[in-house]
Amino acid sequence: MNKDGLRDIVVGNQEAPGVVFFNQGGKTPTFNTVTWGDGKGSVYGLAVGDLDGDGWPDIAGARSEAQNGIWFSGAIKKP
């Protein structure tokens, strides 16, 4: 997600904001977390890709009981 070459984790939640776990590396990796979304509904589908052509990964989320959304990399504060 932050293009540092380390694998990060994107998680959708139920009635809570999603979370991006930014891998900080090391023998035993540690993670910094950043939330995304408004916490409404339940995320049942996620896709990550460069949706706006800026070279950075964005998040698309399908949600029940809430509007589906796209969260662009510029809106997710990187640690």
Question: To which H or E segment does residue 3 belong?
Answer: none
Delimit the domains of the chain by residue range. 9-75
Model pLDDT for residues 15-58, shown as the tens digit of each residue:
999 999 999 999 999 999 999 888 899 999 999 999 999 999 99
> In the structure, what pLDDT confidence band is assigned to residue 72 with cuts at 50, 70 and 90?
confident
> In the structure, what pLDDT confidence band is assigned to residue 73 with cuts at 50, 70 and 90?
confident
Bridge partners of 46, per DSSP, are 61
User: CA–CA separation, 59 vs 66, rounded Å?
Assistant: 16
CA distances from 29 to 25, 26, 57, 74, 78 (A): 5, 5, 21, 25, 17
